[in-house]
Chain A
Amino acid sequence: MNIIVCIKQVPNVKEVKWDPDTGNLIRTGLPSIINVNDKNALEAALVLKEKHGGKVTVISMGPPQVEESLREALGMGVDEAVQLSDKAFAGADCWATSHTLALAVKKLSGADLVLLGVEAMDGNTAQVGPELAEALGLPILSYALSIDVDGKAVKVTQKLGDVVRVLEADLPAVITVEKEANEPRVAPMDCVLEACEKDVPVWKAETIGADEENCGLKGSPTRLRKIFSPKVTRGQVELFSGSLDEVAEKFVAKLKELYYL
């Protein structure tokens, strides 16, 4: 079975320090890590490989230093790694990211399964997995707690809030893996040593046949206006009492009074 895992390198928010005078994040020396949740995707892939055989390939789009994270994944026991680094990829939103990843997956001649973490710690959109599935024309099985492959089909238990559903799809498919799905392994020293020796090819836009118009900031339909911390405002609470109908009427009257209706 061929599995591709997409990982993202993110700043280690646990070690973030703030400049007390300017209130700005101190970026120098801020260590990067594999997005915690993506490690669950790596673990899930490695477990599936141990059970069904085959190969696990990890890909990551980002600046040159993502090589570190790719090697860390190799250290966990992943077979091959591909780095997607090109100035043209910089500033990508979810759409441009999934578009680029999709081209890389195609360049790798596809896979039986493409695994991702549910969401990245820095963006928290949880969009890249589903959008990648869309771009590849494959079914998406999101928020997976467990993954079982049986012949040509895959069964996933999906966590939706308090509800757990069982989903089934034909292979190939895209799956986003939940934090609770597993406990990612610690990299064993023999894999770490092998990982140091392995070749990590760097693919650019032209390697995967990407049109620069569809990559990075240029290819991103999202426009970021402003980033701000939401003001915490203490609203006034008014409790309505009475029968259900009375409460509903009072509520509608209140909304009208406040010009919401």
Chain B
Amino acid sequence: MGSEMYFGKEHEMVRRAVRDFVDKVINPRVDEWEEAEIAPLHELFKKMGDLGFLGIRYDPKYGGGGMDYWAETAFLEELARIHCGGIPMAIAVQTNMATPAIDEFGSEFLKEKYLAPAIAGDLVAAIAVTEPGAGSDVAALTTFAQKDGDHYVINGSKTYITNGTQADFLTLLARTSENPGYHSFSLFVVETKTPGFSVSRKLKKMGMRSSDTAELFFDNVRVPAENLIGAENEGFIQQMMQFQHERFTVLPFSYVAAKRIIEETIEHLKKRIVFGKPLITKQVLRHRLAEWLSDAEALKQLAYHIVRMKTARQDASKEISMGKLLAAQLMNKVTDGCLQMYGGLGFMEEMPISRAYRDSRLIAIGGGASEIMCEIIARLEGF
């Protein structure tokens, strides 16, 4: 409630359209995709692209909607109503993780060739940063892109790459210089049909099962020089900026999902009679639920504050890091606590709460672990 103070009519219309799509096209198939441990992203993204959902904020010149951050937030809030974490994540990779750098720093050529078809849903994108030896410490990555005439030759490997088994292109961070420091990395668009690229393994996971995750291998992969995003050796900084778009998605995903999980739990507690009374009458449980709802509301307000900062073109890195940290804590607390309230039933695989519990565990790890968020906050606070 009170959301009309932030969202205008056009945002509400975006919301309704996305909600309609989630209800009709996505939710009925989530169980099937979770079971298959993959979703048909080309089919799904084409449908979403045709409806204009994959480029809400992007330039209409490339097929985007040219709308603001509020519209994007309404879109993300509705994706959070999907009955799993894997599909929202797969979609957010396409819209908020692998394409913002092309939009912000990419050449006209890259925008025409990759951003426009990603917005249209004709190409599936992935973001390839993490390596077996470099996760939290991004600068430790060793995948190398060696300049060779009008090409770069890429060697190395990436792991835990979302959409990795299906992607048509990767937004990839590689080393382009042996020099220490942050000005030794570059971002590239790498087509997965390039010779030398291979998916070495599809990974099995405890949660986020409907999202496919891959280990990728690069053996002398020749990428045209024009596929460099922005300036050479500035990729690390560009990726840190791209991370802001990625991390922000976690906020709406979390406060909306948390609220939904709590509401479902309340419904269960109203019906479940223990010691002769519905469980919802137990004050210890009621208070816990009320506290979590308050946390979710506070997180939502932080998200809206961040949207206002971004709209005013202010740097919101600190607030986004705080938001991601809080979102992970909230979701771990809520899914663990609600599962507890369901008792043995909550432990059953078929229960939505057990899926939420498994899926939510990723938030404190992926896209920068909670400890890394704390490091960023501390650094930006100057200690």
Contact = CB atoms under 8 A, between A and B. Distances in A.
Interface of A: 28-29, 68, 71-72, 75, 183, 186-190, 192-193, 195-196
The 9 closest A-B pairs by CB, nearest first: A189-B52, A187-B17, A196-B10, A186-B21, A188-B51, A186-B20, A192-B13, A29-B1, A189-B65
A214 to B, nearest CB: 33
Given A28-B1, A29-B1, A189-B56, 5 more contacts: A187-B17, A187-B20, A189-B17, A189-B53, A192-B13
Given A188-B50, A188-B52, A189-B56, A75 B13 contact: yes
A187 B16 contact: yes
B300 to A, nearest CB: 15
26 contacts: A68-B12, A72-B13, A75-B13, A186-B17, A186-B20, A186-B21, A186-B24, A186-B51, A187-B13, A187-B16, A187-B17, A187-B51, A188-B50, A188-B52, A189-B14, A189-B17, A189-B53, A189-B65, A192-B10, A192-B13, A192-B14, A192-B17, A193-B10, A193-B67, A195-B13, A196-B13
A192 B51 CA distance: 10
A186 B13 CA distance: 11
Interface in B45-92: 50-53, 56, 65, 67
Contacts of B53: 189
Interface residues of B, number: 19
A190 B13 CA distance: 11
B25 interface: yes
Contacts of B17: 75, 186-189, 192
Contacts of B10: 192-193, 196
Contacts of A196: 9-10, 13
A83 to B, nearest CB: 14
Secondary structure of the B side of the interface? helix
A193 B25 contact: no
B1 A68 contact: no
Pick the most buried of B9, B13, B50: most chain A CB atoms within 10 A of its CB: B13
Which residue, A28, A183, A188, A189, has most C-beta atoms of chain B within 10 A? A189
A196 B67 CA distance: 12
Most buried by B among A68, A183, A186: A186
Contacts of A187: 13, 16-17, 20, 51
Interface string B11-37: 011101100110011000000000000
A212 B180 CA distance: 82
A186 B23 CA distance: 10
A179 B67 CA distance: 34
A68 B9 contact: yes
Nearest to B3: A29
Nearest to A195: B13
A195 B12 CA distance: 12
A186 B44 CA distance: 14
A28 B1 CA distance: 9
Contacts of B13: 71-72, 75, 187, 192, 195-196
B52 A190 contact: yes
A206 to B, nearest CB: 27
A119 to B, nearest CB: 21
Contacts of A190: 52
Given A183-B24, A188-B50, A189-B56, A72 B16 contact: yes
Nearest to B17: A187
A196 B8 CA distance: 10
B156 to A, nearest CB: 38
A28 B65 CA distance: 32
Contacts of B51: 186-189
Contacts of A192: 10, 13-14, 17, 52
